[in-house]
Amino acid sequence: MSNQFLNKILGKSNSNIVFNFSKSIKENLNHTTLGFEGVPIEPKKTTWDEFDNLLIKDYEFKTKSHMIYFLKELIDYKLSECLIMTIEGDHINVKISNIEGVNIGKNEIMISKYVDEIYEDITFIQF
């Protein structure tokens, strides 16, 4: 992939490509087609639902030890004051509330990303 890109920049390709060396690679890629999908990379869409000034998401766990680890990490991070967690079988439903009772803001979004990160880490842990 990088050889193809370099060949096009250096003019060793039959395609008509304009590369502006005063701009970043990202800016140049936005204006060129190199024959492969996914450039520029699109950010993942959120999987959290918003309802009544809460961010809500359901997590499913394969083992009880993964579930316990998830809960322990959330408690250790001292998120208990803004989290509402409901455990049902192998699922944990997490709700993030705003302590001030106003609309969802940057803090709640950062917390949701952290909770997702913990869950993603668990998928790689084998215990």
For the four alpha carbons of 105, 110, 111 and 117, in that order, the dihedral sign comes to positive
Fold type of domain 49-124: Gyrase A; domain 2 (3.30.1360)
pLDDT digits (tens, 9 = 90+) for 2-48: 565 566 556 555 555 566 676 666 666 655 444 545 555 555 566 89
- The full set of domain ranges for the chain reads 1-42, 49-124
- The pTM score is 0.60
Kindly report the average pLDDT of the chain as a whole number: 76
Contact indicator for 102, 53 with CB cutoff of 8 Å: yes
